[in-house]
Amino acid sequence: MNGSIRPGIFSRYFSREWRGHFVSTLRYALHVIVHPFDGFWDLTRECRGSMQAANFIVFLVMLTRVLQLQYTSFLFMRVNWARINVFTECLSILLPIGIWCLANWSLTTLFEGKGRMRDIYIGTAYAMTPLVLIQLPLILLSNVITVEEGAFHAVLSSISLLWSGLLLICAMMMIHDYSLGKTLAFMVMSAFGMLVIIFIMLIFFSLISDGIAYFVSLYKELSFRLY
């Protein structure tokens, strides 16, 4: 029992250098979205991005989605609240990102891709920055425009998607050091890879649940016989 305080799990988040690193890597996202080629090259190779900042961006994307559901004017988004589950909404963002990273890494690692799983995740997360930057203010905008002015909303919304899509292509090119054609080909293949992973996951879950059901029914049968 010496008087020293045991370092808590979260104590590192309060240290000055951790915060400085986090803020500077997060601010780097604003540089990446306008200088995608240099930006994504330096993002992982020069360690200008960080895992923490990537996590934070993904969190912001989920937050944007939830805020959109709640606060977008009903003119532009109809939400059937009886059928909305916030956790499902968050998972519908998290799961595709996770599966995407897995599928992309599995493929590119076999074909001279330079990126590690961690690089792919950070690149993907940073590429989603425009989604947050545009969609979040769009929530406010949607509440001050009418249906006739809805074109602004639609155009800005599509710009954010397009921008993010282009950034994702750049990110993959730079992280794996691929040519444009090879990047596009591998992105399409990754999409197929995602489908395969989902398919295997479904089979896996149905097998497991069948297996559990077998033992449950075995137990029930035995308990009826022996009772």
Partner 1 sequence: MQGKRLPVQPMQSRIRAAFLSVFLILTLILQAGAQVGYVPQYSYTYDYWGNPRSAPDAYRAVNVIYSADLGLEKPINNPSSLFVKGDRVYLCDSGNHRILQIRRDGGAFILERVIDSFTGGKGPNRFASPSDVFVTEEGDLFICDTENQRVLKLDQNLNLLLTITKPLDETFDQRLSFLPDRIVADVTGRAFVLVRNVNKGLVKFENDGRFTGFIGAMPVSFSISDQIWRLLSTRQQREQQASFVPTEYDNAYIDPKGFIYAVTTTFAEYDLIWDKAKPIRKLNAIGNDILVKNGEFPPIGDIDWGTAAGYSGPSKFSDITVLHNEVYVALDKTRGRLFGYDEQGRNLWIFGGSGNMTGFFRNAVSIEHIGYDLLVLDSLENSITLFEPTEYGRLIYEALERYQGGEYAQSAEIWNEVLKQNGNFELAYIGVGRALLREEKFEQAMQYFKLANDEDNYSKAFQEYRKAWVERNISWIFAVLFILLIVPMAAGRIRRIRKELAEG
Query: Is the CB of 74 or the CB of 215 nearer to partner 1?
Result: 74
- Least separation in angstroms between CB 75 and partner 1: 5
Distance, CA of 140 to chain centre: 23
Query: Is the CB of 10 or the CB of 227 nearer to partner 1?
Result: 227
Distance, CA of 222 to chain centre: 47
Residues interacting with partner 1, by CB under 8 A? 74-75, 78, 80, 82, 144, 146-148
- Least separation in angstroms between CB 146 and partner 1: 4
- Least separation in angstroms between CB 136 and partner 1: 19
Q: Which two tokens stand for residue 133?
A: 């930057």
> Residues 6 or more apart from 117 whose CB is under 8 A from it?
101, 102, 105
Gyration radius of the chain over CA positions: 23
Dist. CA 161–CA 142, nearest whole Å: 17
Query: Is the CB of 75 or the CB of 197 nearer to partner 1?
Result: 75
- Least separation in angstroms between CB 180 and partner 1: 33
Query: Is the CB of 151 or the CB of 207 nearer to partner 1?
Result: 151
**Amino acid identity for residue 96 in this structure:** P
